[in-house]
Amino acid sequence: MARIDLSAQGEAGDNVCAFLDMLAFAEGTILYGGDDGYNVLVGGKTFDNYEKHPKVYVPLTRYKVTSSAAGRYQFLWKTWQALALKLNLPDFGPVSQDRAAIELIRERKALLDVREGNIIAAIQKCRQIWASLPGAGYGQREHKMTDLLREYSKAGGM
């Protein structure tokens, strides 16, 4: 589950946390590690220090790329550096990762859609960020919209 506390935002906060949980499902990070995916490197190995982004480059021979993706939402090192600076994030811990993911959603102009429960629209706006979303077009595994909507609902989204 997302670690950020959005309870002051009521139902809209629940939708945001459910969307974050759906993203973690889509990225596959919740399947690895023992910390809801927050400590997962691309490919499934884990790291044990949240002081900073691990900046480990992992070859993904299946996709013929090398990636620095890490954490619950699979932030690339370069992306993380920009977000950490912009948001003044103190570390690569769970709450910082949640805050950064929300910022990426906001930058895609999808946060209002998430808050209002327009999840299909939000997913479509965010697919250029997360390769696992339908229609991303990165040549990687993409989830079906129906599976994502099911996970969003399971996570408490409305």
Residues carrying an active site annotation? 27
Q: CA angle 78-13-40, nearest 5°?
A: 35
- What single string gives the DSSP state of each residue in the chain? ---S--GGGTHHHHHHHHHHHHHHHHHTGGGSTTTTTTTBBTTS-B----SS-----EEETTTTEEE--BTTTTB-HHHHHHHHHHHT--SSSHHHHHHHHHHHHHHTT-HHHHHHT-HHHHHHHHTTT-TTSTT--SSS----HHHHHHHHHHTT--
Would you call 41 helix, strand, or coil by DSSP? Answer: strand
